[in-house]
Amino acid sequence: MQELVNRAKELLANGTVQRVLGWKAGDMAYNPEPSYFESEADLSEFVYDAFCGANLSKYMIEASKKEGKTLVFLKPCDSYSFNQLLKEHRVDRDKAYIIGVGCKGKLDIEKIKKEGIKGIESISGIGMEDACDTLKIGTLYGDKECSYQDVMLERCHVCKGKDHVVFDETLLESRDTVDSERFHEVEKIEKMSPEEKFQFFQKELSKCIRCNACRNVCPACSCRKCVFDSTKFDSAQKANVDPFQEKMFHIIRAFHVAGRCTDCGECSRVCPQGIRLHLFNRKFIKDINEFYGDYTAGEDINQEAPLTHFEFSDREPNEERG
Amino acid sequence: MPLTENEFRPKIVAFCCNWCSYAGADLAGSSRLSYPADVKIIKVPCSCRVNPMFILRAFEKGADGVILCGCHPGDCHYSTGNYYARRRMTLLFSMLDYLGIEKGRTRVEWVSAAEGVKFSQTMNEFVEKIKSLGENVRLGDLRCKN
Amino acid sequence: MQRIGVFVCHCGSNIAATVDVKKVVETVLSEPGVCHAEDYPYMCSEAGQMKILEAVKEKKLTGIVVCSCSPRMHEATFRKAAERAGLNPYMVEIANIREHCSWIHKDMEEATKKAVILARAAIAKVNLNTPLQAGESRVTKRALVIGGGIAGIQTALDIADAGYEVDIVEKTPSIGGRMSQLDKTFPTLDCSACILTPKMVEAAAHEKINIYTYSEVDKVTGFVGDFTVDIRKKARSVDSAKCTGCGVCQEKCPSKKSLNEFNRGLNTRSAIYTPFAQAIPNVPVIDRDACIKFKTGKCGVCEKVCQAGAIDYNQKDEIITEKYGAIVVATGFDTIKLDNYDEYAYNQSKDVITSLELERIMNAAGPTKGHLERLSDGKAPKEMVFIQCVGSRCSDNRGKSYCSKICCMYTAKHAMLIRDKYPDVNVTVFYIDVRTPGKNFDEFYRRAVEEYGVNYVKGQVGKVAPLPNGKLLVQGSDLLDNKQILKEADMVVLATAIEPEASVRQIATMLTASIDTNNFLTEAHPKLRPVESPTAGVFLSGVCQGPKDIPETVAQAGAAAVKAIGLLAKDKLTTNPCTAKPDELLCNGCSQCANVCPYGAITYEEKEVNDHGIRETRRVAQVNGALCQGCGACTVTCPSGAMDLQGFSNRQIIAEVDAICR
Amino acid sequence: MYQIAKNDLPALFRKISETKELYLPVRVADQVNFAAYTEDADVSLETLKTVKSPKDAFFPQSETLYTCHKEENKLSITPEELQNQEFVVFGIKACDVKGIEVLDKVFLSEPVDTFYKARRDHGILVALACNEPEESCFCKAFGIDCTDPKADVATWLVGDFLYWNPLTEKGAALTDAVKELFAEADDSAVQKQQETTKAIVEKLPYMDLSLEGWNGDVLTEKFDSPLWEELYQPCLACGTCTFVCPTCQCYDIKDYTTGSGVQRYRCWDSCMYSDFTMMAHGNNRTSQMQRFRQRFMHKLVYFPANNDGMYSCVGCGRCVEKCPSALNIVKVVKAFQKEGGDK
Amino acid sequence: MSHRNYSEKIKEISGVNPYKCMKCGKCSATCPSYNEMDIKPHQFVSYVLNEDIEALADSKSLWKCLSCFACVERCPRDVKPGKLIDAARQIVVRERGGDYLSADEIPELLDEELPQQLLVSAFRRYKR
């Protein structure tokens, strides 16, 4: 981590960048927050560890409007989001100095708590220099341990890979974290009967409180004004008054990011109700791959996006799968 | 077909592109090829004008089935519109299926201006299909049900 | 809130027999915004339209709903009526209660109910209608003709004669096209060159016509009335201004092994060449792939012999950018490749030739100086077989599904000419059908049979096999005699299918003109607008639109010219107001809409916006109303709903949906 | 004080729900929130904090106010019926009870919100003391004793028993109705548990959080602080904090067109949203910084200014746990503290 | 079975749409057995269309067709007269009754020297 701080200090000092966008240590072991650092002194609070899951690429939309360059730290998966934003002209490549940082898999505090660990005072084993196999957790109710792999964010189990797709330089090594099949969950649902599918999603979505965290954290949902906030479709909603509205919101949100979603997993990470929102986006990704050939949003900014492109021989909408 | 008591009469919205399918519907009309009155047509310039929001909106407000008709691939008045529509609807329908919404409540059919027969046949089939599926209870806003 | 008048038409009994029009009138009166409703036997009649005028005046209506026949019938009528009443024409909506209701339903109660719902949807829409103004755009008084064959030349001449500037872009070194390769023309047997050359000269000499030969269209932007085109003038390596056309360079050029394209590769030409004697301009080009100077750096003979000093090895491609109001595509055709037709032995025997090759052989300037002889051994043929429909009318993937249209006639012409000039040659034509619709066409074909003794056999040839004795064994069938025929022939001529010039695909893409599965350009309407492309301002001339003979091509060229002149004669164009319109405050500038726009109507601008007090420069979409045709593809691509379609706005369509579903 | 074996709780719930609607923490799809009791509900009393606070019971996320119905040209208006049946909220924690006091200040002062009042009148709060507070808890900063909740009934889970102590008339009436399931008990076990818990509370990381300097009189000083400009930066402008908060009480009123008429409903709104208090001219808070500031100024300055010094934060710590950007009220208070200390 | 049904059966077995024929005669022009045949390849289509299957079944052509498929290969309309006559032949063979092998019996009878092509064409022809 110190390497990151040192490099940031250098780049600030030599005037390459005006500010640094990274993570600031929180008041708990697990809640660092995205933050700007304007000076060397500020950087004393810089942190980069297993809880820095937040994807900083979306902050670059605002940073692109600021004077001078911003140094931003992007994890491999974050770099896809940045690239996608670049493709959509939402960020300015010239305003960004990108350090691609390695990643050993980010942790999900909710999963730690699900293991029955509460009153957390300290967590060790979360640094980039650590082995990432066991976490030692000091709590008000005694010392606990849990496996690093078990409490990783869902997205890290199906990681896109260790390579950054856009960067000026890279620092720190990444680790292989994949231990699941990316579309396994989606396939499981696809195999259910219509009734089972309906019940599954009805239950899952009934938790939605329409806090919009999924939308607002999403780098693809970067509209200045969302259709669900505007009068454009007579579709403004502030609450899910009826189960239909839960579906409407999540279907349309997924549709709007279809072909643009990099599967960064932020939606699922931030949902206060633990709704597995990636199940929507990943369904579209799976369909797109299956129907129109493999496509990874954000991978190549020159590639035609699946929904703004077509082939004469595309499948018909009524066609049965298979 | 006279209205009989208690018979389920579905609400069906048909989006038809101005150039082919709307004209196809006109031809069905002038050829007196009947199809159930449950089908109501909304004219759009092109199948690519149909936003998934419109389709969900129809279901929200109580539609039991939604069908989108456009020019045959390759015949789009705007050259490419129906190709985009095709991809969009393919994905949308797949998502609806994934959410457990009965297959067959949504459909896309390419109907040319010359295919009055096909238009009427398609609508007859679609209405039958929706009747067999029954009332749409999975994708509507309950507030609109009374 | 609008003040809406609803007018329900009986259409005699067409509507009123099935729909209770009085009930419709009664019911719609309680709809929001409706302050007038009435019915009338024929709304489209003058008296019916007067009803609208009166109601607008009396009830101060702001919107009109007419429940009547399809908008495709009378929308324009009622819009005009609204305009006469002082309303914006786009404040009118039609509820189609005839084609979509009374004509397809029998039960009156049911049909009436549906008619009410259709009316409600139209009312809900009109409530959200806004007056739309047709825009205006300027017209550049200059036309571009792509292709310098007979179609392009004729179009250019007609446009130029009307007083407008025309540029012809021709990719080969000379104008003239396929017609210049023909020997004689049917059904009059005129010498092709004799009738074409004067036209070529006329075009070249016309003060309003500017010809770019050895040039191609590189890029097209803009829209009807205001196209901007980049023309690539390929490096000729000869300075046209200095060249006197003396021809010495071609004589002296040591590289003479290049296949002569003009003679369909039947003989060779020099590396510096003009394609044919009457070429216009009479300025040679250097084929850099064949030229020794370009390949090895040595030689330079042409430069030495050129007294005018016109040779310029350093010439580069030049891009000329020009503005045009109209573009005519006249890219013509080529014959299909016969690689898939092994059974005709085209690739095995030099004596199996295509009809176009026969044209060159028969021509005095051709590879055999006009003598009919076998290309294998130079001997005069005694038995000639013509095979029709080679690659035409094939529904398999080897050939073309369409009839090439010209083959029956030119085969009759060839047969007749050969029998006339070489009476000792037996000519057999294998045909499926002889198709001769056209003035004096069937008479022409009958002459070949009756006067010239050409042997027409109804049946197709299954196989042509080269024999060891140098002859060709033709195995065909005679369906009328129910016989299989085995015939030894000296030459076999294949009436090869024609297809659009390969480059037309690229040109169509640049023009955003649509193209069918056979690469023919699509007409705006196959019957009523046959010389216009669906893309406004683009017109079609000649075979690029479909197979045609010379008179038809010339007729179509003239028609295309008239359409182009009609456009150029206007000072301003009114544009369809139902176009896409972005809300700049909501636009993300993401470019997705531009990616799906088939017309290139969407561009982006860095623009200062005031978003409720926040002033910033943003990348926002701009729609060119003259280019936009109003398909709406962009509106669905736009996630924020910033892009909307006027006349079919999101809220209008949603209002219709709501009205239908309630 | 009464006691009932944990094993017998289902019987208690069943008994209560025979006559009254019963809300309690229920696990649905892996998350625990207050929900109506049903026979097959997965009740989870061990959960310290439900995701959403139980304020829904009195101030639901959305509620219909009235319905207009249109037939031909006639318009009829049907107001929504007020709550007229008693209901029980079981398992509410001390902080959330305090949260309802905060809501009372807003909705029960003039003009009284009749919908809210009807629910308050008919709602019986059965509070449950906390046993194992977590690191995000800071109710003590607001003078709340999580081991001794003050509601209609206070309960404690100790060992294999639930201890039950009615505190109000409503509580007593409820107790009478279910008394047959209870046994008398003394409070020794409860006291012991309270001491254990209090000892933990003393060790909580936010134990020392001080609200010094935050009151109704510091409006301009805090409002103009340059700190806000820094603090808000990571904020995503989502409404998570407001929607999980037991005290946030802002709502919007909207109409829904049903085809045959209009339903007017109100639903929670969030001051974090860009369309909060949107008016024809736009929004009076144009930047996210202003919106962010609004939330904390409201909780710690404006609310105390109007309500005798009462903060509209109860230290439940839900925002601490749920903010996607790890922002929260504690960080804000600490930042100002630090700034003050530096000076 | 009525003639009409035979006609349908032939279309079904051959997968041919005889209406696509434009009567060009290229099949007959191609056919190496033409002279041996009483009904010529280009006529197969009209026999099927006219439902005159009996004549086709009794014809010499049925047995003279070599199944070389030259006509199939060269037919510009994808009509495949060879497939038609093959289908007619199959119907006749099937009518004669069960003197052909079931697929299960074949492996035992196989001669190692037997060309693969023969096997494949046998299957094609005799599969039910």
The residue-averaged pLDDT of D290-315 equals: 95
Euclidean distance between CA atoms C277 and C265, whole angstroms: 17
**What pLDDT, on a 0 to 100 scale, did the predictor assign at position D280?**
79
CB atoms A90 and C589 under 8 Å = yes
Nearest CB to C661 within list D259, D283, D286? D259
Q: Is the ipTM of this complex over 0.90?
A: no
D214 in any annotated domain = no
Of A95, A148, A155, A157, whose CA–CA distance to A126 is shortest? A148
The residue-averaged pLDDT of D190-213 equals: 93
**What pLDDT, on a 0 to 100 scale, did the predictor assign at position C506?**
87
Grade residue E101 by pLDDT with cuts at 50, 70 and 90.
low
State the smallest CA–CA distance between residue B119 and chain C in angstroms: 11
**C173 residue type, one letter:** P
Euclidean distance between CA atoms C327 and A230, whole angstroms: 43
Residue extent(s) of CATH 3.30.70.3270 domains in chain C: 580-646
CATH topology of domain C4-126: Rossmann fold (3.40.50)
Given phi > 0 = left and psi -120 to 50 = alpha, else beta, which region is C321? beta
Size of the B and C interface in Cβ pairs below 8 Å: 143
Question: What is the pairing mode between strands C63-68 and C4-9?
Answer: parallel
Between B29-43, C313-327, D66-80, the lowest mean confidence (pLDDT) is in D66-80
State the smallest CA–CA distance between residue A319 and chain B in angstroms: 8
From chain A, the residues in CB contact with D286 under 8 A are none
Under 8 Å between Cβ of C579 and C141: no
Q: Which two structure tokens, joined as six digits, stand for A84?
A: 């996608």
Q: Which of D155, D173, D203 is the last residue of a domain?
A: D203
Residue E76 in contact with partner chain C when CB distance is under 8 A? yes
Q: Around Cβ D244, how many Cβ atoms within 10 Å?
A: 25
Euclidean distance between CA atoms D30 and D37, whole angstroms: 17
Euclidean distance between CA atoms D73 and C29, whole angstroms: 9
**What pLDDT, on a 0 to 100 scale, did the predictor assign at position E122?**
66
Residue C465 in contact with partner chain E when CB distance is under 8 A? no
D307 shares a domain with D267: yes
pLDDT digit string (tens) for C360-375?
999 999 999 999 999 9
Domain count, chain D: 2
From chain B, the residues in CB contact with A319 under 8 A are 90
Average per-residue pLDDT for chain C: 94
Q: pLDDT: is C259 or A1 the higher one?
A: C259
- In CATH, what number does C142-234+317-332+501-568 get? 3.50.50.60
Euclidean distance between CA atoms D288 and A119, whole angstroms: 32
**C with A: touching (≥3 Cβ pairs within 8 Å):** yes
Mutate to test the interface with A, among B15, B86, B87 (most CBs of A within 10 A): B87
Alpha helices in A53-107 (DSSP H): 59-63, 76-87
Mutate to test the interface with D, among C26, C609, C612 (most CBs of D within 10 A): C612
* DSSP code string of A247-261: HHHHHHHHHHHTTT-
Determine what percent of chain D is predicted with pLDDT higher than 70: 99
D320 in any annotated domain = yes
- Write down which chains contact chain E via at least 3 CB pairs under 8 A: C
- pTM of the full structure: 0.76
Long-range Cβ contact pairs of A244-248 (< 8 A, separation 24 or more) = A244/B59, A244/B60, A244/B139, A244/B140, A244/B141, A244/B142, A245/A210, A245/B141, A246/A205, A246/A206, A246/A208, A246/A210, A247/A201, A247/A205, A247/B56, A247/B99, A247/B139, A248/B56, A248/B60
D284 in any annotated domain = yes
From chain C, the residues in CB contact with E44 under 8 A are none
Give CA angle at D217 (D213, D218), nearest 5°.
55
The residue-averaged pLDDT of C592-613 equals: 90
D108 shares a domain with D158: yes
Q: pLDDT at residue E126 above 70?
A: no
From chain D, the residues in CB contact with A33 under 8 A are 234, 325-327, 331
**What pLDDT, on a 0 to 100 scale, did the predictor assign at position C235?**
96
State the smallest CA–CA distance between residue A147 and chain D in angstroms: 21
Euclidean distance between CA atoms C60 and C46, whole angstroms: 20
Grade residue A168 by pLDDT with cuts at 50, 70 and 90.
very high
Give CA angle at D188 (D182, D191), nearest 5°.
110
D10 shares a domain with D91: yes
CB atoms B143 and D263 under 8 Å = yes
Determine what percent of chain D is predicted with pLDDT higher than 90: 86
Contacts of C544 (CB under 8 A, 6+ apart): C147, C151, C329, C330, C331, C332, C333, C500, C501, C504, C520, C521
D259 shares a domain with D134: no
Domains of chain B as residue ranges with CATH: 12-144 (3.40.50)
Grade residue D342 by pLDDT with cuts at 50, 70 and 90.
very low
Residue C611 in contact with partner chain A when CB distance is under 8 A? yes
CA nearest C400 in E: which residue?
A: E76
Q: pLDDT at residue C193 above 70?
A: yes
Q: pLDDT at residue B1 above 70?
A: no
Tokens 């669905």 belong to which residue?
A: C636
Mutate to test the interface with A, among D62, D271, D279, D323 (most CBs of A within 10 A): D62
**What pLDDT, on a 0 to 100 scale, did the predictor assign at position E102?**
64
Domain that holds residue D64: 2-203
CATH topology of domain C580-646: Alpha-Beta Plaits (3.30.70)
- The SS3 of residue D31 is strand
Domain boundaries of chain A, sorted by first residue: 2-171, 184-308
Q: Around Cβ A95, how many Cβ atoms within 10 Å?
A: 18
Contacts of D88 (CB under 8 A, 6+ apart): D16, D20, D21, D22, D23, D123, D124, D126, D174
Euclidean distance between CA atoms C74 and C72, whole angstroms: 6
CATH 3.30.565.10 describes domain E3-97: no
Mutate to test the interface with B, among A232, A247, A278, A312 (most CBs of B within 10 A): A247
* Chain centroid offset of residue C302 CA: 41
From chain B, the residues in CB contact with C517 under 8 A are 74
Residue A239, CA atoms < 13 Å, CB-side half-sphere? 23
Q: pLDDT: is E98 or B32 the higher one?
A: B32
Within C331-382, strands assigned E span 333-335, 352-354
Q: Around Cβ A225, how many Cβ atoms within 10 Å?
A: 20
D253 shares a domain with D132: no
Under 8 Å between Cβ of E9 and E1: yes
pLDDT digit string (tens) for A91-131?
999 999 999 999 999 999 999 999 999 999 999 999 999 98
Average per-residue pLDDT for chain D: 93
Q: Among D97-101, E3-7, E113-117, which range has the highest average pLDDT?
A: D97-101
Q: pLDDT at residue A57 above 90?
A: yes
- The SS3 of residue C509 is helix
D36 in any annotated domain = yes
CATH superfamily of C334-499: FAD/NAD(P)-binding domain (3.50.50.60)
**What pLDDT, on a 0 to 100 scale, did the predictor assign at position A58?**
96
CB atoms D260 and C662 under 8 Å = yes
* DSSP code string of A149-218: GGGB-HHHHT---S--SS-SEEES-------S-TTHHHHHHHTS-HHHHHHHHHHHHHT-----HHHHH-
Average per-residue pLDDT for chain A: 94
Determine what percent of chain E is predicted with pLDDT higher than 90: 22
Q: pLDDT at residue E128 above 50?
A: no
Q: pLDDT at residue C137 above 90?
A: no
pLDDT digit string (tens) for B121-141?
999 999 999 999 999 999 999
D160 shares a domain with D46: yes
Contacts of A205 (CB under 8 A, 6+ apart): A243, A246, A247, A250, A275
**What pLDDT, on a 0 to 100 scale, did the predictor assign at position D341?**
52
pLDDT digit string (tens) for C528-555?
789 998 778 999 999 999 999 999 999 9
